[in-house]
């Protein structure tokens, strides 16, 4: 089964919270793409490029990684005569983002608990 076919992202069953971090999601630009697309029904390529301060080529590479992992869907079309590319988060992408946020939240909770005086 490929990553795109597996509906569940990898999650740590025990151990340190960082064991639940998925390297595909954790990279800051990919995390940004997933976060923006989770907030909107779909996000236009140009908006993502500007919001995340990426070059078109760099954004394309990150979208390819996420698309191959089954976390986003890329749709090409037109607005009038202008070509457009839209990005949507998938159910797998939402689950992976939720797992990432849960791991980071737990990491923060443990860090705060360890540093209380």
The beta-strand segments (E) located in the chain are 43-44, 72-79, 82-89
H-helix or E-strand containing 73? strand 72-79
pLDDT in tens, 60-94: 999 999 999 999 999 999 999 999 999 999 999 99
Mean pLDDT of all residues in 19-29: 92
User: pTM for the full model?
Assistant: 0.82
CA distance linking residue 98 with residue 23, whole number of Å: 14
Residue that the structure tokens 């986003």 belong to: 72
Question: What domains are there in the chain, each with its CATH number?
Answer: 22-110 (1.10.10.10)
Confidence of residue 117 (pLDDT cuts 50, 70, 90): low
Q: Which range is least confidently modeled, 5-14, 43-52, 60-69?
A: 5-14
């Amino acid at each position: 089964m490929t990553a795109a076919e597996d509906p569940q992202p990898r999650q740590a069953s025990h151990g340190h919270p960082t064991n639940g971090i998925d390297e595909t999601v954790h990279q800051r630009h990919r995390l940004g793409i997933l976060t923006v697309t989770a907030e909107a029904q779909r996000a236009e390529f140009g908006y993502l490029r500007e919001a995340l301060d990426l070059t078109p080529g760099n954004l394309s590479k990150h979208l390819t990684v996420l698309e191959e992992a089954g976390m986003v869907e890329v749709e090409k079309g037109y607005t009038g005569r202008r070509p457009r590319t839209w990005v949507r988060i998938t159910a797998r992408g939402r689950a992976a983002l939720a797992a990432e946020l849960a791991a980071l939240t737990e990491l923060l909770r443990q860090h705060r608990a360890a540093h209380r005086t």
